[in-house]
Amino acid sequence: MNNPGAINSLPWVRDYPGYVAEVETAPGNRFTIFETPEHGIAAWYQLMKNYRSTGATTIREIIERHGGDQDYSDYVADVVTRTGLSADHEIALEGDDSTLLKFAKAMFHQEAGRETPLSGNQILYGFKFARVHARTGQPPAPIGQEDTPIKPQPKPGNPLLLTLLLMMLSKEKPLAGDPAKPWQGVDIEKVLLPLLLQPALTGTKIDTTDLLSLILTGKPGASAANTSAPTAAGQQAVDINALLLPLLFQILTGKPWSDTASPGRALEP
């Protein structure tokens, strides 16, 4: 059943990650089936937290709470023997996983009537699963992948994406100058585009004064007037499409521009 703690089916258990179904092993005794043993361990950990919230913190108190109205003195004695701890030892759910691991294994042995086949790493991962889920609502990384960095995902509605697309369309269809609309006479490629791409290219913020000046008067501010498409002495100006393409690729896919699609290579249909 992937249920080493022999947890009964209760409303909170049915809402817990990994819940699959329940089976009645005896009249009125419905045990839970979990997707994996680690899910079952995590649910056991949550059960220990529930017991703790009612004041059951020692080995004796936890097991008596677990047994309900039944006599669980033999259960307590066996767990004490297997852990080497006093029946009145308080079980910490944080900060002492070595003791918690021994306690879990002793309880799992009692519930199954044999040594648990689960490894220490599996049980510790179950603890981690429960903690991370309680804190974030999400499961932790799988065993062996705990240190794998999480790649940032592109955010929907990225304003830079809209800017890039707008600039690409505007570059193909320049607007005619209109005295009533001074901003229509702005040189998009040489003035407006570098200003709007400034955060992506340099990591700095757009100078709002320059941007407002450009929109209202059609002329860049003092700092933007010195901004132009990236050039170097004796070199050709950078192709704006070659500049936009890797940025657009990164925004759409969330991945860096790779060598297989260099900025200077034309896209195939």
Which has more confidence, 148 or 72?
72
Q: What is the mean pLDDT of residues 96-118?
A: 96
Q: Give me the residue spans of the domains in the chain.
A: 11-136, 159-261
Question: Whole-prediction pTM value?
Answer: 0.54
Q: What is the mean pLDDT of residues 212-220?
A: 60
Query: Rounded distance, CA 117 to CA 211, Å?
Result: 66
Query: Rounded distance, CA 77 to CA 4, Å?
Result: 19
Q: Which residues pair with 32 in a beta bridge?
A: 22
pLDDT of amino acid 137: 85
pLDDT tens digits, one per residue of 151-174: 444 444 455 554 555 555 455 444
49: nearest Cα among 16, 22, 1: 16
Helices first, then strands: H and E counts in the chain: 11, 2
Q: CB-based contacts of 84: which residues, under 8 Å, 6+ apart?
A: 102
Give 32's DSSP letter: E
Q: What is the mean pLDDT of residues 238-263?
A: 57
The mean of the pLDDT values for the chain is 74
Which has more confidence, 143 or 136?
136
pLDDT tens digits, one per residue of 178-187: 555 554 555 5
pLDDT of amino acid 220: 58
Q: What is the mean pLDDT of residues 175-201?
A: 55
pLDDT of amino acid 246: 65
Which has more confidence, 33 or 26?
33
